[in-house]
C-alpha cells in the first residue's frame, strides 16, 4: 500500500471518515497562542502538524445532525495510548504512517437516543498518529483538519454511534465498533468549556475558540454546533440537543457493506 493510500485508510479510521484522505497540508503551532494554522507545502519545522483532509463519516455539524445519527453524546478522556507500527514495506521505504489506538474513558453521558445500546464505560478509538519520511525517527504528528487529535491530558465531547460488523465481497470484515460522526462531533472540552483544549494538535484557550467561531461567521460559513456554543458549558449543549429534532427524511448513511453471517 503506497503512502497516500495508507494515509487515506488511517485517516478514515481515525476520524470515522467514509471517503479517502485527499490532501496533507502543514499546520504550524503558534508559540504565543498555542493555536494551529493550516499552511501549504515546504519543509516542516519541529512541532508542525500535518493536517489530513477527508469527508465525514456521517453529518455532524448541527444539533439536528447529532440527534439524528448519534446514539450518545459523551464527555471522554484518554486513559491509555498505543502506537500502531508501520508496515515492513513502509519502514524499508522510509515513508509511511504510525497510527494510534486510544482507550477512552466515558466521564459523563450528556444525551442518549431512545433505544440506543448502553454507552460504554471504556472503549477503543483509532486516532490519527504520525507521518514520517526519511525513517521513523523523522516523524511529525498528524491530525485531521478541523478536529482534535484526541490526546492524553485533555477532555473532549464526542457524538458517537454504534455500528454492527459489516462485510463486503472481497474486503476484510469491518468489526462492530463505536465511532464518531465526523468533524463536527469531536469537540475540545477542557475545564468544562466547549472549544477549550487540544485542537488540531495544539492547545487553544476559550477566547481562541470564540475568535475562531466569530471568524467563521464573518466569512459567511454556516455555524457548526461547536462554533455556536464556543465558550459555553455542558448545560448549554444539553439544552440544544433536547430541543433539536431528528431529521425524518435522513438517508441511511451507514458505512457500505452488509451484515456478516
Residue 250: what pLDDT? 73
Say which residue the cell 496533507 belongs to. Answer: 24
Q: pLDDT tens digits, residue range 20-58?
A: 333 444 454 433 333 333 333 333 334 589 998 877 789
Residue 15: what pLDDT? 37
How far is it, in rounded angstroms, from Cα 9 to Cα 254?
Answer: 17
Residues of the chain with pLDDT under 70: 1-47, 218-222, 251-261
How far is it, in rounded angstroms, from Cα 30 to Cα 200?
Answer: 12
How far is it, in rounded angstroms, from Cα 100 to Cα 189?
Answer: 21
Question: Helical H runs in 39-149?
Answer: 63-69, 88-93
Domain boundaries in the chain? 3-247
Residue 81: what pLDDT? 97
**pTM of this prediction exceeds 0.85:** no
Amino acid at each position: 500500500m503506497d503512502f497516500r493510500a495508507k494515509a487515506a485508510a488511517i485517516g478514515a479510521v481515525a476520524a470515522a471518515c467514509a471517503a479517502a484522505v485527499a490532501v496533507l497540508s502543514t499546520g504550524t503551532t503558534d508559540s504565543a497562542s498555542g493555536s494551529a494554522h493550516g499552511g501549504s507545502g515546504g519543509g516542516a519545522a519541529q512541532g508542525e502538524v500535518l493536517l489530513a483532509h477527508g469527508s465525514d463519516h456521517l453529518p455532524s455539524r448541527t444539533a439536528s445532525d447529532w440527534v439524528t445519527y448519534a446514539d450518545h453524546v459523551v464527555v471522554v478522556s484518554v486513559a491509555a495510548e498505543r502506537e500502531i507500527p508501520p508496515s515492513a514495506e513502509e519502514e524499508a521505504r522510509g515513508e509511511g504512517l504510525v497510527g494510534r489506538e486510544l482507550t477512552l474513558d466515558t466521564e459523563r453521558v450528556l444525551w442518549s437516543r431512545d433505544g440506543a445500546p448502553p454507552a460504554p464505560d471504556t472503549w477503543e478509538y483509532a486516532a490519527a498518529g504520525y507521518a514520517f519520511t526519511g525513517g521513523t525517527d523523522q516523524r511529525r504528528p498528524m491530525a485531521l483538519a478541523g478536529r482534535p487529535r484526541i490526546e492524553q491530558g485533555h477532555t473532549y465531547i464526542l457524538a458517537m454511534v454504534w455500528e454492527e460488523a459489516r462485510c463486503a465481497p472481497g474486503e476484510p470484515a469491518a468489526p462492530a465498533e463505536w465511532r464518531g460522526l465526523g468533524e463536527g462531533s469531536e469537540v475540545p472540552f477542557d475545564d468544562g468549556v466547549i472549544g477549550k483544549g487540544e485542537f488540531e494538535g495544539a492547545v487553544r484557550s476559550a477566547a481562541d475558540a470564540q475568535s475562531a467561531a466569530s471568524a467563521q461567521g464573518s466569512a459567511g460559513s454556516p455555524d457548526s454546533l461547536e462554533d455556536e456554543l464556543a465558550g459555553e458549558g455542558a448545560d448549554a449543549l444539553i439544552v440544544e440537543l433536547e430541543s433539536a429534532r431528528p431529521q425524518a427524511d435522513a438517508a441511511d448513511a451507514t458505512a457500505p457493506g452488509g451484515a456478516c453471517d
